[in-house]
């Protein structure tokens, strides 16, 4: 009899525990489901460890639902190739290259050197695509030539605005929008000027595995600058100080979630005339969780870079160099190809 009573007490305790666990679990699940952050989610697949990392963009603010910034146009792209990133099951890097309509030779040199995505040496490290970002030319002759170039190579993204200094913030956001709509399969994005040469062998080998799963990651050369011609009251409303730290936009490396975080922060921020300060300073400042790193492997003096490669060879360590002349570009590419291909 005592054993029977004990058994019923034990059964009752177990049943109560199971019921309580079920209630608590359902409440937890319900809480998770009702908190809708309304932000796109990126899944980072670490192929070595089979770990899937989920990223949220922006502030995780459930009340912030205005993330449909459209550059005031339903279709702001004049020239584009929506299928650029669709050929590969996975894309390691997209290199977004800021250029101008009449920089035909610079684009040609890039395609023939480090930007030749079909170079045999790249394939053992990964894959990438290049995309030239450009505004419209006021010259009909140049504009027509750009359109022919786009048809031939399929690597040009052109907005419906003119190529002009006051349109640079809009141009930068156009590139981010295109990535958000057509190239989110790229794990990482490099934004560079068309004077910069990249050692894509080292970038693919080292940086993809090191940073692609880092939440809201951005690496560049940082500078401090005063925000000019903006009312201090507006700055306070945006939680910004008059002096802001921003990237030099000649070479910026970002994860795809950082691209979306910057892009979706734009509708909530008063526009600013400098694309470097606005897109790579003011907008990232609105992102609460981020990882910022100084790009020490970026050299702005190509003379020093040439000396580095000639002295240290494959131990130079530089992966991005701003070239002052075409001959410097050719010398650097010769060294990069010799030591790393």
Global confidence as pTM: 0.79
β-bridge partners, 156: 132
pLDDT of residue 294: 95
* Tokens matching residue 12: 């009752």
pLDDT score of 231 = 63
Quickly count: other Cβ atoms within 10 Å of residue 194's Cβ.
19
| List of domains in the chain | 46-295 (3.90.550)
Separation between Cα atoms, residue 187 and residue 128, nearest integer Å: 10
Please tell me the predicted confidence (pLDDT) of residue 88: 60
Helix 168-182 vs helix 256-265: angle between axes, to the nearest 10 degrees?
Answer: 130
Question: What is the per-residue pLDDT for 148?
Answer: 98
CB burial of residue 305 (10 Å; 0-12, 13-18, 19+)? buried
To which residue do tokens 């796109």 refer?
40
pLDDT at 243: 80
Kind and range of the H or E element at 243?
Answer: strand 243-247
Q: Would you list the DSSP string of 20-65?
A: HHHHHHHHHHHHHHH-------EEEEETTTTEEEEE--TT--TT--
Q: Supply the pLDDT for residue 247.
A: 94
- Averages of pLDDT over each 10 residues, the chain, 341 residues: 48 42 33 28 41 32 36 75 83 97 98 96 94 98 98 97 93 95 94 98 93 94 80 68 86 96 89 89 91 96 97 96 96 96 89
């Amino acid at each position: 009899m005592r054993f029977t009573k004990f058994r019923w007490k034990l059964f009752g305790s177990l049943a109560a525990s199971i019921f309580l666990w079920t209630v608590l679990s359902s409440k937890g699940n319900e809480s998770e489901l009702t908190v809708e952050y309304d932000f796109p989610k990126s899944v980072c697949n670490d192929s070595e460890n089979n770990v899937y990392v989920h990223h949220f963009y922006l502030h995780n603010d459930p009340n912030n639902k205005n993330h449909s910034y459209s550059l005031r146009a339903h279709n702001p792209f004049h020239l584009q190739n929506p299928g650029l990133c669709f050929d590969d099951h996975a894309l390691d890097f997209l290199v977004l290259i800021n250029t101008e309509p009449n920089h035909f030779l610079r684009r040609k040199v890039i395609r023939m050197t480090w930007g030749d995505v079909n170079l045999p040496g790249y394939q053992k490290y990964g894959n990438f695509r290049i995309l030239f970002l450009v505004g419209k030319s006021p010259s009909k002759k140049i504009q027509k030539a750009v359109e022919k170039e786009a048809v031939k190579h399929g690597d040009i993204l052109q907005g419906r605005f003119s190529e002009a200094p006051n349109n640079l913030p809009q141009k930068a956001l156009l590139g981010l929008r295109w990535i958000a709509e057509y190239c989110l399969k790229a794990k990482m994005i490099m934004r560079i000027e068309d004077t910069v040469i990249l050692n894509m062998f080292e970038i693919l080998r080292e940086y993809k595995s090191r940073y692609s799963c880092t939440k809201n990651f951005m690496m560049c050369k940082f500078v401090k600058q005063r925000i000019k011609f903006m009312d201090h009251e507006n700055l306070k409303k945006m939680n910004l100080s008059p002096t802001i730290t921003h990237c030099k936009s000649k070479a910026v490396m970002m994860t795809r979630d950082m691209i979306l975080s910057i892009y979706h922060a734009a509708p909530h921020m008063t526009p600013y005339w400098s694309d470097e300060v606005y897109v790579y300073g003011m907008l990232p400042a609105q992102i609460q969780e981020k990882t910022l790193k100084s790009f020490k492997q970026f050299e702005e003096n190509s003379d020093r870079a040439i000396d580095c490669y000639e002295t240290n060879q494959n131990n130079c360590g530089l992966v991005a160099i701003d070239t002052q002349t075409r001959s410097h570009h050719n010398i650097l590419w010769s060294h990069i190809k010799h030591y790393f291909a």
